[in-house]
Structure 1
Amino acid sequence: MIHLTKIIAAILVLLAIALGGYAWMLSRQPVKPPPAAAAPATSSSSTARVPTYPVVVASKPVAAGQAIPADALRVEQLPINPTGSFKETSAVIGRVPVFDLGEGTPLLEGQLASGLAMRVEEGERAVAIKADEVMGVGNKVQPGDFVDVFVMLKSDGKDVDRTQARLLLSRKRVLAFGNASIDGLPSKSPEGRGAQQQRTEAARTAVLAVPVGDINRLTLGESAGRLLLALRNPLDTTLPDPTLLAELPPALQPPAPKRGDPTRAPLEGLDRAQAGLTAVDLVNGGGSPAGRRIPAESRATTSAAPRTPGTGVRPGLEVEMIRGDRSETVRY
């Protein structure tokens, strides 16, 4: 019995020594942080993330005055959302920038062409003419209307019967009349009286969309006579037959074609506008009463007078001045 007790006591002493050694080894190892401490750091990093916005930017350089193609645009996520920016490329395709844009530049509304110029169709020009209450159909003309332009060409007091009035341009679109414009820009008048003030103020100009080849007619008609706008129904699309009257000759004649060269086509568009038009051809339709065409407003022809016998000196020159259908000879 005594031997058994001694054996158990020895086993317990050895077990105590083993446990003490194990505890000493554990105390020498570094303490790892608990897993729960990493959770707050992860949540704080997610809350500090910066929000982004979709913005249309230029994917390659875009030149000013050129329509923006679809392949020159892309949508990027930016940390800022500029005022006037676009979220979709479809809203920018075909627009025209007013200055050069570099790659990566966000597209803004203020960088793109807008206003009345965007309402002018290809081949047309916006032309302003003087307007008043009578000329503007009692100030009833509004942007978007279609009008016929009549001209009254006044003659001097000696030829009152030669004064004429006729249709100058037909079915021209009104882009602006007075302060009102077809581009829909907000009026600068105070709120609540803008529309009333806009109607009561006398219009001083009317802006018409005119084909570039007809601008010469309009400018000469305004300078040589008085214009009158005739309001027409927009559904009325009838136009005069241009083949019923002779075409007015240009002020600048093209050079005669060389032998063997093909016949040149009639001048049109910008070429016609560059050739110009004279006031006398506008009045007489390109011909004199005798049927002879006068290409310039005043044509001077000189004829030498016979020499005085025995002197060898001409007594003077005679100059024939032709203005319209009138001829005057001046001797000097």
Structure 2
Amino acid sequence: MINLTKIIAAVLVLLALALGGYAWLLSRQPPPPVVAAPSAAAAGKTAQAQTFRVVVAAKPLPAGRAIPPDALRVERLTINPAGAFQETAPLAGRVPVIDLGEGTPLVEGQLVSGLALRVGEGERAVAIKADEVMGVGHKVRPGDFVDVFLMLKSDGKDVDRSQARLLLSRKRVLAYGGASIDGMASGMDKNGSAQQQQQQQASRAEAARTAVLAVPVDDINRLTIAEYSGRLLLALRNPTDMSEPDPKLFAELPTALQPVPPKAGEARRPPLEGLDRAQAGVIAADFVTGGKPVNLRVPAAAAVAAAPAANAPARTGGSRGGLQVEVIRGDRSETINY
């Protein structure tokens, strides 16, 4: 029993010596290297490694002015704004809607877009009322060319004094109902099939209440008076038909505002055109008669009945003779004598 105890004690002593030697060996080894966390400066350099090509303003760009090509430059930025441009060529001639300072990135939302870009120099987009009859059975589409006819109904039952004439020739349709020439019609399903888009356009055309035309600015006065004085009718024409009436065959309408006469020694001023003529305006009576009295063929019976009245002395406060035209404005009717 004593020998067994001695043996166990000896084994424990040897095991303790072995463990102590192993601990001493571990203490002699160098500590493992400590991996330091990346600093903020290093993280910033990593983020700045990725840059984007962005077009910025090389000088201040005022709103409503076309952008010249030398007012743009391309810079490498750490941000890539939504709608930004990478090349300057598509931006030359575009118009900003707000003032842009030097160095400002240009994005699509800052530039004029939509139907205004489809209006030509000297033209204006004008909306007129439309219905199925006026709009050629709703077959008018944006991009078509139409002639605008005017129907004026005279007062009473005197059909001979009514008139219809061509008002504007070969005018471009910018929009009809919900469909627009700029391809941004409301409710357009851009992901749908062509057949679905055609069906949507047809449904919008059936409910069309307005038509937008590109009209020269000096013709807007006539179109405005015509719409409120009578009934307009659109006549659809082939776009390859370039025929138009010769304006030299007809006298120009007098203007509502008379231009200032030239001073002594000044040369005669040219006729009013463009915005100047649009500002001068026209009078409804001159628009109907062309500025001159209209000679109508009077039936024989009416001439005989009118003869005694012509020979009788004029009465004070008598009614003014001449042609009468009924002007309809909504639910009101007015008679114009001239």
* Structure 1 residue 188 displacement after superposition: 1.5
* Structure 1 residue 321 displacement after superposition: 6.8
**In the alignment, is residue 252 of structure 1 matched against residue 257 of structure 2?**
yes
- Pick the aligned partner of 1:231 from 219, 222, 236: 236
* Structure 1 residue 254 displacement after superposition: 1.6
Give the corresponding residue for 1:23.
none
- Pick the aligned partner of 2:287 from 270, 279, 282: 282
Give the corresponding residue for 1:72.
71
Q: Alpha-carbon deviations, 1:93-136, whole Å to 9, x = none?
A: 11000000011100000000000011001100000000001111
- Structure 1 Cα separation of the partners of residues 319 and 170 of structure 2: 38
Task: Check whether the contact 2:145–2:171 (CA below 8 A) recurs between aligned residues.
Answer: yes
SS in 2 for 1:157: coil
- Structure 1 Cα separation of the partners of residues 164 and 208 of structure 2: 23
- Pick the aligned partner of 1:205 from 181, 198, 210: 210
**In the alignment, is residue 273 of structure 1 matched against residue 278 of structure 2?**
yes
Task: Check whether the contact 1:284–1:324 (CA below 8 A) recurs between aligned residues.
Answer: no
Task: Check whether the contact 1:280–1:323 (CA below 8 A) recurs between aligned residues.
Answer: no
Task: Check whether the contact 2:48–2:78 (CA below 8 A) recurs between aligned residues.
Answer: no
Give unmatched runs, 5+ long, in structure 1. 1-43, 292-316, 327-332
SS in 2 for 1:169: strand
SS in 2 for 1:114: coil
- Structure 2 Cα separation of the partners of residues 153 and 145 of structure 1: 25
Over the residues paired in the alignment, what is the CA RMSD in angstroms?
A: 2.6
* Structure 1 residue 258 displacement after superposition: 3.2
* Structure 1 residue 50 displacement after superposition: 2.6
* Structure 1 residue 325 displacement after superposition: 3.2
- Structure 2 Cα separation of the partners of residues 113 and 53 of structure 1: 24
Summarize the Cα distance change of 1:56–1:320 in structure 2 as closer, same or farther, 3 Å threshold.
Answer: farther
User: Which amino acid counterpart does residue 90 of structure 1 have in structure 2?
Assistant: A
Summarize the Cα distance change of 1:48–1:151 in structure 2 as closer, same or farther, 3 Å threshold.
Answer: closer
SS in 1 for 2:158: helix
Give the corresponding residue for 1:99.
98
Give 4+ residue runs of structure 1 displaced > 4 Å after superposition: 44-49, 189-194, 317-324
**In the alignment, is residue 325 of structure 1 matched against residue 312 of structure 2?**
no
Give unmatched runs, 5+ long, in structure 2. 1-41, 297-314, 325-338
Summarize the Cα distance change of 1:246–1:323 in structure 2 as closer, same or farther, 3 Å threshold.
Answer: farther
Report the structure number with the largest CA radius of gyration.
1
- Structure 1 Cα separation of the partners of residues 320 and 122 of structure 2: 36
Give the corresponding residue for 2:146.
147
* Structure 1 residue 259 displacement after superposition: 3.2
- In the alignment of these two chains, the number of paired residues is 261
Task: Check whether the contact 1:144–1:182 (CA below 8 A) recurs between aligned residues.
Answer: yes
Q: Alpha-carbon deviations, 1:257-316, whole Å to 9, x = none?
A: 33322111111101111111111111111101369xxxxxxxxxxxxxxxxxxxxxxxxx
Identity value in percent: 68
**In the alignment, is residue 219 of structure 1 matched against residue 224 of structure 2?**
yes
* Structure 1 residue 202 displacement after superposition: 1.7
Task: Check whether the contact 2:142–2:173 (CA below 8 A) recurs between aligned residues.
Answer: yes
- Structure 2 Cα separation of the partners of residues 91 and 144 of structure 1: 24
Give the corresponding residue for 1:196.
199
Query: TM-score scaled by structure 2?
Result: 0.72
Give the corresponding residue for 1:164.
163
Summarize the Cα distance change of 1:189–1:70 in structure 2 as closer, same or farther, 3 Å threshold.
Answer: closer
Query: TM-score scaled by structure 1?
Result: 0.73
